[in-house]
Structure 1
Amino acid sequence: MQPHLMPQRLYQWFKSRNFALNATDTRYALVEASLIGVLSAIAALILKQGVGWLGGWRVALANEFGGIVVLPLGGLILGYLAGWIIETLSPTATGGGITQVKAALARYPVPLSLRVAIVKLIGTILVLGGGLTLGRRAPTVHIGAALAAQLSSWVPTSPEHRRQMIAAGAAAGLAAGFTTPIAGVLFVIEELMRDVSGLTLETAIVASFTGAVVSLILQSSTLNLPSSLLELPDITFSALDIPFYLLLGILAGVLGALFNRGLLLSVKIQHQFNLPLSWRIGLMGMVSGIIIAVLPPFFRDNAGLRIILVTGELDWSRILLAFVAHFFLTILAYSANTPGGLFGPALVLGSALGYLVGDFEQFLTGTGTQSSYALAGMGAFFTAVVRVPVTAIVFVFELNTDFNIVLPLMVTCAVSYIVAESVSRGSLYEHMLHARGIYINEAATGQDFLSKLTASQVMESHVETLSSDLSLDEVLQAMSNSTHRGFPVVEQGQLVGIVTQTDLAKLKKVPGYTPLSEFMTRRPITVQAESSLSDVLYLLNRYQLSRLPVTEGHKLVGIITRTDIIRIEANQLQGDDTTINEVVPDPSYIAYQTRAPLAGEGRILLPLVNPDTATSLFKISAAIAQKQNQEIECLQVITVPKHSDPAQTPVITQHSRQLLQRTERLGRQYHLPVHTQIRIAHDRAQAILDTIRERHIDLMVLQWTDDNHSPGTIFDPVIDVLIRKATCELVLVKLGQEKEAYPQTLDKDATWLLPIAGGPNAKRAMELLPGLIKLYTRPRSPIIWLCQVFSPHKATPNYQSLEVAAKRLKEELERPVIPLPVRSQSVADAIIHLAEAETCDVVMLGVSREGLLVQVMQGNLPKMIAQQVKSTVILVRGKLDN
């Protein structure tokens, strides 16, 4: 398979099984993390075996032909070869790798791929096998992160998901290298990512645990930790030892800070010579070989030397020599940008320093155990170099699993950290990133501008859709009549596909009656409403799309395009965020909620205030919901003072819950899905707007009473705000004087009055009428008066549109519909007079958008009618444009 085709084919495989079809789908994140752990463990084992095999050959040849020849020559050849491979195939694979991973997690464009992992693996084997005094654990972190990045690039994903997988790969690499799963996770959190979000922790833990376990299985079938680091005897701690542990912490802090300064200075000096990487590594390998050749023979085997130092098999003079030699050899090797790490050398230097302090205590007091100081020194020096005290404590404890070492570790690591920060602030990796011109703002790496906005805040909620049963000819006609180049395809409110002009262009000699379901793109890539814009942009670029449907489950709630994101970015650059869906200034808090199955094609919001009228309003909502196959969202808002935090203010929700439970029972009676929620907020209108935005409400049924006489308001303060700002369709209800009876059985025929003016909302009112009429359960049919008010100054009014509307409504309802033209100078007076003369039970006004928004503010036409008509009045206002 060609590499560039692999992501596409994997995506098709996932899509055919309905896997991971949106940017925030995390169902398989833990499986992916487990796979990353397995791959990291295999890579760590290959690295270990490769270094051991090559290093063994180097030592054997040195013993046979003489170290003064073999060691420098071997360091030069293997170092040069490693540098040449890295320069040629993947320049990113230089150094220990921690800086690259840290930069990648901070969203810098640092390449991480399978190529990087393979080159890093080969380069590390060559340089460590060639005798350079570096470690292999930091490279395993880099390799694990690179493998994770490659794996996440082969399946549908998002930038944030990829970032978290890279963090999981880094944790798995460290855990596989040292068999320390907890320290692997902590190192990612404390140094690399500094992110404790749920998914990051879960994936990092799974990957780290898997990497450690697989590494153990590959090395020991009994799962016993094989390293001699874990078998140090006589771990003790007493109060008399505290001054010496303080001394150890101070020495480790000072020497660790000097180690970092020396390394950074050496890096700066080497860069001034501007030598190619191959020659730099080769020359450092040769210099190291010469120095090691003149040192005692035990220096030739790095692995053996570390075991000897850690277990204390040398006297203090040789330990001091080993410390000094290891100190400067590591600086020389690492400063050449050699593919090797500092974890191992830091632990070795720390153990040597600990043995020296332990010997000093024994010399002065005759007490103390060198093993305890060796372990404490490992943690202290590691802290001074990397500046991760918590990771260091857990790290060394995991290596030893003896609780007696915890307190000495805490003392020495804390002191070492304070002293090291006093001598030289910041970790080595931060300074190395600064040298490359990379400055990481920890507060900004977790969220960028696009990550703070969600698809629901930017999407277009008014979506033109097509039905899957349309024919090709009808689709072509819809395309020609629209400015859009693509349409979502829905069945019963559920997104089932998408059709674009590209799909139509591919059709050849296809009959015009072919149904859309046969040539649309099934299971399109979608995003959830809560997906961040960075996820949306990633998918648009990844699959070269111009638009993405926004869904809630399988329900289509909007569509988002590249143009929408560009507009938001442009506004952000200009400091203008007015085009973003309004963000709540005083956020509301959900204190209680229940969820029913997502079975409807839309959602109706029913804010409840008065328990006495809740049943009547629910029945009105249910009548609409049954006719339009929608769900009902019942809302109770509890307001708290402005100075109180809604999320922290205690409130009594018992009565609200009882009311909502009553609506749930009514929902079961009507066979309708009913969701409920209680919101705590400073402002009731804002809480309702929150719900409309978050729950993707299509229509809201709202009660109005004439009891509120607040000055400066039209209806009341809440309804005025909702009329202006609620983007969904609004049905405003003023129940008649027979509130308790409505909409129960009446003793006489129900009479409906439906004034029309030819506007779009009059048509919408007629569409709602068939469902609402079913509220009356008498055996006899209601009477519908369909009237239109004409000006008396107009000589020849056109009654044709009124008669056509009446005829169409009569055929649909199969009930009497009487057209009634009325000539009057006042629309309100005519409707009020007619409602009283015919004793109408319900007056339903399909007021045009201009009529509602302008007349409410100027003439108060709907309010005037509702106030003076004693029967029930229903006002219908269509959706507002975003």
Structure 2
Amino acid sequence: MKQTFDTTKLLQIMNGLLIGLIVGLVVSVFRLAIEYGLRLTIFVYQTMHKMPWLLIPWLIISILLALLLGRMAHKNPSIQGSGIPQIEGQLAGSYEEKWWPVLWRKFIGGILSIGTGLFLGREGPSIQLGATVGQGVAEIGHVGQINRRVSIASGAAAGLSAAFNAPVASTLFILEEVYHNFSPLVWLSALVSALTANFVSLNFFGLTPVLHIAYSQSLPLSQYGHLIILGIILGLFGRLYQMTLLRLPQWFGKMKFMRPEWYPVIPFVLVILIGWFWPDTLGGGNSLIIQIAQHNPSIGIFVGLLLLRFIFSMISYGSNLPGGIFLPILTIGAIIGGLYGQVMVSLGFLNANLVSNFIIYAMAGYFAGIVKAPFTAILLITEMVGSLSHLMPLAVVSLVAFIVVDLLSGSPIYESLLNKLIKRTSIISKRQVSTISTTIFMGAPLDGQQIRDFVWPKGSLVESVRRGENVIVPHGDTMLRAGDTIVIDVAAGARQAAFARVVAAAQGPSSN
């Protein structure tokens, strides 16, 4: 029997290439603009020491810029923060936004917020920029809802890849933490987009890893006990970070004398003090991570950096400016790792040559605990550092930190931020019927169950079941298996509740 050629995968690859190419260019320019902005900002602060009178015009410019960005972010909530919760909400069907207004406002707002030295990361905005490009390509091409979400996920993966030059980890992060879907079509398109965007970015920034940290030796097996202790510390600090970040809206809201659109004035004024005394600490923190790994500061400097980075990153993010927490999380983790290493060195329990190793390990552990994505953390740091020698220590620290945060009832930070976002934002949807899809995990309630035996949400219809290379038209006797991706049509108004229920059945633990 003659088989017809299936063009589905080819079309997804071509779509991924197109999205990756555009996102790579957009995010690379975004990243370049931020780097030049930071250089200019640091130059201004250095010049101020010679000409102190420049402080007055700089203060006026900073306040005006803060008011401008505050008004833009207040009138357009979609550009506030990192943008990752917004993308997660879009892919879950609980949130919607228009791609072009978000794209240009996030691009300009992110450059002005991060490029002026605030402790915000470029990675979250890069993910949102990539997702808006993917959404734009899908809407211009008038594709269906499933392909639209695949394009958004592909653009998000490409955005993170271009920002960090870590295509594999970027793809895994979107699938593991943002989309929660490992369908073959999804990961294929996302990986192609991430690789393409990474190639474009490498032509701008070269082949050197973003966080290339030199180390003299691998961690001896006799020192692995330190990884357990460090993982516990990172888990405790990670839970503290989560709790603090989620309470920021309440704390800022207590300043009754300030309107929400004026909040950015606070970090823009405070950053002048930081820039005057410590200009090298400005920005998201990637250059600071490399500096502390090269110079191994004293315990006192590490403590000062930890307090400074933690407090001011919270102030920066709490002002609702366009900017993320991705890189600031890695920076705080690196500082905790360096501090732990220096304390152990001073007590005689660790060789000084291993401090840079603990800086690397702690970045992964802190990220894994806060975001609750250990696989992404391990791969991300491996790609960013450019070495496979740390896989085992990274895995140990990441898993310990993850377990500690889990025991302390911590939820993934981006999921928690999404829940807060949904509470204050109405769902934008004009469709009468919407489509959701999710992958069935091993041991979940739907694993091994016939379609007829599950009580599906009211008004829903199981449209298809994707199993490996095949698409199954389901009926009541169809047996669902782990690894299947189910596609369901639901009434648009019931989408959020239906998605939550189906995901719980497809990915949660079985009650048996």
Shared fold per TM-score greater than 0.5? yes
Alpha-carbon separation, structure 2, partners of 1:280 and 1:188: 31
Correspondence 1:78 to 2:52: no
Match of 2:222 among 236, 240, 244: 240
TM normalised by structure 1 equals 0.46
Shift of 1:315: 2.4
Q: What residue number does 2:438 align with?
A: 446
Match of 1:298 among 245, 269, 280: 280
Superposition RMSD in Å: 2.8
Alpha-carbon separation, structure 1, partners of 2:194 and 2:170: 6
Report if the CA contact (8 A) 2:231-2:400 is conserved. yes
Report if the CA contact (8 A) 1:347-1:378 is conserved. yes
Q: Using a 3 Å threshold, how does the CA distance of structure 1 residues 26 and 399 change in structure 2: closer, same or farther? A: closer
What pairs with 1:653-802 in structure 2 (closer than 5 Å)? none
Shift of 1:256: 1.3
Question: What code does the residue aligned with 1:61 have?
Answer: V
SS at match of 1:446: strand
Correspondence 1:365 to 2:357: no
Q: What residue number does 1:336 align with?
A: 319
Q: Deviations over 1:298-321 (max 9, x none)?
A: 334655434323434532321221
Report if the CA contact (8 A) 2:74-2:260 is conserved. yes
Alpha-carbon separation, structure 2, partners of 1:49 and 1:585: 55
Q: Deviations over 1:328-380 (max 9, x none)?
A: 11111111222111111111111111111222232223526112101101101
Q: Deviations over 1:430-485 (max 9, x none)?
A: 2222223459xxxx76398656236xxxxxxxxxxxxxxxxxxxxxxxxxxxxxxx
Shift of 1:277: 4.7
Correspondence 1:230 to 2:212: yes
Report if the CA contact (8 A) 1:83-1:123 is conserved. no
Question: What code does the residue aligned with 2:375 have?
Answer: V
Q: Deviations over 1:700-737 (max 9, x none)?
A: xxxxxxxxxxxxxxxxxxxxxxxxxxxxxxxxxxxxxx
Q: What residue number does 1:325 align with?
A: 308
Question: What code does the residue aligned with 1:453 have?
Answer: E
Correspondence 1:264 to 2:256: no
Question: What code does the residue aligned with 2:438 have?
Answer: G
Shift of 1:184: 0.7
SS at match of 1:124: helix
SS at match of 2:218: coil
SS at match of 1:404: coil
Q: What residue number does 1:514 align with?
A: none
What pairs with 1:450-529 in structure 2 (closer than 5 Å)? 452-453=462-463
How high is the sequence identity, in percent, across the aligned residues? 24
Alpha-carbon separation, structure 2, partners of 1:25 and 1:451: 23
Q: Deviations over 1:238-293 (max 9, x none)?
A: 22211211111111111111011111112222235475553112222223333x15
Q: Using a 3 Å threshold, how does the CA distance of structure 1 residues 194 and 366 change in structure 2: closer, same or farther? A: closer
Structure number with greater Rg is 1
Q: What residue number does 1:430 align with?
A: 415
Alpha-carbon separation, structure 1, partners of 2:350 and 2:81: 44
Alpha-carbon separation, structure 1, partners of 2:225 and 2:149: 44
Q: What residue number does 1:138 align with?
A: 124
Correspondence 1:175 to 2:157: no
SS at match of 1:453: strand
Correspondence 1:59 to 2:42: yes
Q: Deviations over 1:36-76 (max 9, x none)?
A: 11121112211122112222222222222358657755543
Correspondence 1:47 to 2:67: no
Question: What code does the residue aligned with 2:396 have?
Answer: V
Match of 2:87 among 89, 93, 101: 101
Q: Deviations over 1:61-105 (max 9, x none)?
A: 2222358657755543333222233445x4311110000000000
Report if the CA contact (8 A) 2:299-2:343 is conserved. no
Alpha-carbon separation, structure 2, partners of 1:56 and 1:587: 60
Alpha-carbon separation, structure 2, partners of 1:424 and 1:311: 36
Match of 2:18 among 35, 43, 51: 35
Alpha-carbon separation, structure 2, partners of 1:261 and 1:72: 32
Q: Deviations over 1:391-450 (max 9, x none)?
A: 0000001122322211110111011111122234201112222223459xxxx7639865
Question: What code does the residue aligned with 2:219 have?
Answer: F
Question: What code does the residue aligned with 2:331 have?
Answer: V
**Which consecutive residues of structure 2, in runs of 5 or more, have no partner in the other structure?**
1-6, 425-435, 440-456, 465-470, 482-512
Q: What residue number does 1:255 align with?
A: 237
Q: What residue number does 1:870 align with?
A: none
Q: Using a 3 Å threshold, how does the CA distance of structure 1 residues 116 and 300 change in structure 2: closer, same or farther? A: closer
Alpha-carbon separation, structure 2, partners of 1:375 and 1:451: 48
Matched residues, number: 433
Alpha-carbon separation, structure 1, partners of 2:383 and 2:209: 13
Question: What code does the residue aligned with 1:360 have?
Answer: V
What pairs with 1:826-837 in structure 2 (closer than 5 Å)? none
Q: Deviations over 1:542-584 (max 9, x none)?
A: xxxxxxxxxxxxxxxxxxxxxxxxxxxxxxxxxxxxxxxxx74
Match of 1:399 among 376, 381, 384: 384
Correspondence 1:129 to 2:115: yes
Question: What code does the residue aligned with 2:108 have?
Answer: I
Alpha-carbon separation, structure 2, partners of 1:298 and 1:173: 26
Q: What residue number does 2:148 align with?
A: 162
Higher helix share: 2
Report if the CA contact (8 A) 1:260-1:428 is conserved. yes
Question: What code does the residue aligned with 2:235 have?
Answer: G
Q: What residue number does 1:111 align with?
A: 97
Q: What residue number does 1:548 align with?
A: none
Question: What code does the residue aligned with 1:270 have?
Answer: F
Question: What code does the residue aligned with 1:78 have?
Answer: L
Q: Using a 3 Å threshold, how does the CA distance of structure 1 residues 310 and 166 change in structure 2: closer, same or farther? A: farther
What pairs with 1:850-865 in structure 2 (closer than 5 Å)? none
Question: What code does the residue aligned with 2:220 have?
Answer: S
SS at match of 1:251: helix
Alpha-carbon separation, structure 2, partners of 1:399 and 1:314: 22
Q: Using a 3 Å threshold, how does the CA distance of structure 1 residues 329 and 314 change in structure 2: closer, same or farther? A: same
Q: Deviations over 1:486-528 (max 9, x none)?
A: xxxxxxxxxxxxxxxxxxxxxxxxxxxxxxxxxxxxxxxxxxx
Alpha-carbon separation, structure 1, partners of 2:58 and 2:403: 40
Q: Using a 3 Å threshold, how does the CA distance of structure 1 residues 152 and 437 change in structure 2: closer, same or farther? A: closer
Q: What residue number does 2:494 align with?
A: none
Q: Using a 3 Å threshold, how does the CA distance of structure 1 residues 93 and 435 change in structure 2: closer, same or farther? A: same
Alpha-carbon separation, structure 2, partners of 1:404 and 1:165: 34
Alpha-carbon separation, structure 2, partners of 1:70 and 1:341: 28
Alpha-carbon separation, structure 1, partners of 2:412 and 2:479: 42
Q: Using a 3 Å threshold, how does the CA distance of structure 1 residues 451 and 376 change in structure 2: closer, same or farther? A: farther
Q: Using a 3 Å threshold, how does the CA distance of structure 1 residues 453 and 65 change in structure 2: closer, same or farther? A: same
Q: Using a 3 Å threshold, how does the CA distance of structure 1 residues 279 and 587 change in structure 2: closer, same or farther? A: closer
Alpha-carbon separation, structure 2, partners of 1:289 and 1:245: 38
Question: What code does the residue aligned with 1:201 have?
Answer: W
Report if the CA contact (8 A) 2:132-2:155 is conserved. yes
Question: What code does the residue aligned with 1:342 have?
Answer: I
Report if the CA contact (8 A) 1:112-1:145 is conserved. no
What pairs with 1:513-662 in structure 2 (closer than 5 Å)? 584-587=475-478
Alpha-carbon separation, structure 2, partners of 1:44 and 1:336: 23
Q: What residue number does 1:522 align with?
A: none
